[in-house]
């Protein structure tokens, strides 16, 4: 099947995940795509393809040579973001994109314009797929799935000598549960690549170290009319606490390799206030120092008020995969060689978040991320470049040789 045909088919299947659900997968509808993929894989002759009880699809192509070759895996996710509806997606194909604004929806005046989205200018001449302006597209991550499926078909119809190739399609990546039930043993690879997002010229093997912090502030409440020298308003102490943290280390003032502390929730009254922060940094050393800053702020305030007015608890969430990839750089070396051989330009871009691959890497399966030619994720301005998707198929075909 043609890569465009497959991609269009996949995005028309609603696979939105749901954070509030406690089931695996979080939504049954993700299985509609999972089952279709198993069927397609079996039709291609991969009889071992199956869907497990957690909604993960696994498949393997055995090695076809005696020569010792690495076992390589490829992973993409089935679900789309809960941020924007993925029902009734009505994709439109634009051949040889001319660099002008794209009218997504004439009636509602929804336009994909090059000023707001300058990445479009890098797509001139390419074949694009866009939305009708009312839903997301779901290139995140159905572009990844379409690339892998097209790649498999080409492998099976070629004479390429390769080692074992493992495939997995996972549910619930968008709600952070994509690897909760991932079976590394079943997957059986030396290393893997997630195909999830962005320009195909980005190779990603660095992400944040991440922690979350809960701050509890115990104030003293009393009638405001007779409060002099008695009341301690916990909301104002919360403000003091936040002021004691590095003021420029916040999301709106950082980019690239700069980490941050983000106050994402605050709730309270005079008597008691609770604050939630997330702490992020690519550098382990600075990350540890950021956590220390929280303790220092607590100590200052506890000393100032003369009792344990501030309590903090900090929990690590995920780690930067870079440290692990550097210990076992086979995946990275291999992909870089391919880009150089095919003379495709690349940059290493640090992910300002986490990925399923980061978790798998820490679990023992080194898994950098590759781009899929999808842009503006999680909203109505999402679009995909079929031209870049096809190029990524060529990259994967070279990678396994
Ligand atoms: Zn994704």
**Predicted confidence (pLDDT) per residue in 80-90, tens digit:** 999 899 999 99
Q: Is 117 exposed, middle or buried (0-12, 13-18, 19+ CB in 10 A)?
A: middle
Distance 338 CA to ligand 1 centre (A): 23
Residue with tokens 């020298």: 229
Q: What is the pLDDT of residues 4-60, one digit of tens each?
A: 999 999 999 999 999 999 999 999 999 999 999 999 999 999 999 999 999 999 999
For this structure, is 173 an active site residue? yes
Q: What is the mean pLDDT of residues 330-347?
A: 97
Distance 287 CA to ligand 1 centre (A): 25
Distance 274 CA to ligand 1 centre (A): 32
267 pLDDT above the threshold of 90:
yes
Q: What is the pLDDT of residues 149-185, one digit of tens each?
A: 999 999 999 999 999 999 999 999 999 889 999 999 9
pLDDT at 169: 98
Distance 239 CA to ligand 1 centre (A): 36
Fold of 209-318: Alpha-Beta Plaits (3.30.70)
355 pLDDT above the threshold of 90:
no
Decide which of 80 and 317 is more confident: 80
1 pLDDT above the threshold of 90:
no
Distance 94 CA to ligand 1 centre (A): 23
Share of the chain above pLDDT 90, in %: 95
Residue 336's pLDDT band, with cuts at 50, 70 and 90, is very high
Fold of 3-206+320-399: Aminopeptidase (3.40.630)
Distance 275 CA to ligand 1 centre (A): 29
Surrounding residues of ion ligand 1, Cβ less than 5 A: 140-141, 196
Distance 247 CA to ligand 1 centre (A): 31
The catalytic residue among 140, 141, 173, 356 is 173
For this structure, is 174 an active site residue? no
353 pLDDT above the threshold of 90:
no
The catalytic residue among 14, 79, 172, 196 is 79
The Cα angle at residue 401 between residues 398 and 140, in degrees rounded to 5: 45
In the chain, what are the domain boundaries?
Answer: 3-206+320-399, 209-318
Share of the chain above pLDDT 70, in %: 100
The Cα angle at residue 169 between residues 71 and 394, in degrees rounded to 5: 60
Residue 197's pLDDT band, with cuts at 50, 70 and 90, is confident
Of 137-141, 328-332, 354-358, where does mean pLDDT reach its minimum? 354-358
Q: What is the pLDDT of residues 283-301, one digit of tens each?
A: 999 999 999 999 999 999 9
Distance 82 CA to ligand 1 centre (A): 12
Please give the Cα distance from 283 to 172 (Å, whole number). 28
Q: What is the pLDDT of residues 133-148, one digit of tens each?
A: 999 999 999 999 999 9
Residue 401's pLDDT band, with cuts at 50, 70 and 90, is very high
- Of the candidates 158, 218, 174, the one whose C-alpha atom is nearest the C-alpha of residue 25 is 174
Residue 220 gets which letter from DSSP?
A: B
DSSP per residue over 344-401, as a string? ---EE---SS--HHHHHHHTT----EE--SEESTTSTT-EEEHHHHHHHHHHHHHHT-
Distance 143 CA to ligand 1 centre (A): 10
Q: What is the mean pLDDT of residues 192-219?
A: 95
Strand positions, DSSP E, 83-221: 92-94, 102-105, 110-112, 128-130, 165-170, 191-195, 202-204, 209-218
pLDDT at 354: 82
Q: How far is CA 253 from CA 246, 248, 263, 292, 376, in A?
A: 11, 6, 13, 21, 21
């Amino acid at each position: 099947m043609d890569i465009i045909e497959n991609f269009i088919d996949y995005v028309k299947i609603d696979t939105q995940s749901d954070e509030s659900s406690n089931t695996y997968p979080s939504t049954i509808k993700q299985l509609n795509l999972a089952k279709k993929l198993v069927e397609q894989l079996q039709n291609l002759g991969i009889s071992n393809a199956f869907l497990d009880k957690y909604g993960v699809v696994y498949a393997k192509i055995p090695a076809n040579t005696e020569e010792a070759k690495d076992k390589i895996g490829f992973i993409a996710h089935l679900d789309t973001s809960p941020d924007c509806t993925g029902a009734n997606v009505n994709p439109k194909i634009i051949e040889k994109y001319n660099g002008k604004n794209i009218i997504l929806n004439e009636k509602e005046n929804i336009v994909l314009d090059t000023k707001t989205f300058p990445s479009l200018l890098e797509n001139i001449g390419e074949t694009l797929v866009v939305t009708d302006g009312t839903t997301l597209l779901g290139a995140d991550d159905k572009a990844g799935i379409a690339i892998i499926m097209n790649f498999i078909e080409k492998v099976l119809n070629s004479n390429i000598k390769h080692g074992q190739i493992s495939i997995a399609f996972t549910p619930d990546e968008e709600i952070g549960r994509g690897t909760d039930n991932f079976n590394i043993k079943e997957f059986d690879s030396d290393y893997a690549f997630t195909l999830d997002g962005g320009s195909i010229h980005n190779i990603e093997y660095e992400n944040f170290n991440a922690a979350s912090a809960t701050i509890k502030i115990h104030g003293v409440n009393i009638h405001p009319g007779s409060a002099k020298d008695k009341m301690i308003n916990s909301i104002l102490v919360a403000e003091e606490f936040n002021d004691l943290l590095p003021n420029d280390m916040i999301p709106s003032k950082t980019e690239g390799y700069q980490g941050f502390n983000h106050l994402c929730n605050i709730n309270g009254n005079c008597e008691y206030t609770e604050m939630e922060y997330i702490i992020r940094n690519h550098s382990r050393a600075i990350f540890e120092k950021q956590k220390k800053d929280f303790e220092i702020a607590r100590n200052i305030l506890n000393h100032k008020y003369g009792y344990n007015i501030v309590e903090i608890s900090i929990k690590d969430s995920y780690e930067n995969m870079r440290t692990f990839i550097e210990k076992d750089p086979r995946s990275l070396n291999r992909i870089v060689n391919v880009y150089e051989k095919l003379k495709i330009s690349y940059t290493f871009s640090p992910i300002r978040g986490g990925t399923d691959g980061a978790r798998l890497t820490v679990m023992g399966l080194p898994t950098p991320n590759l781009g899929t030619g999808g842009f503006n994720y999680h909203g109505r301005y999402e679009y995909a470049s079929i031209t870049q998707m096809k190029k990524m198929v060529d990259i994967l075909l070279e990678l396994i040789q």
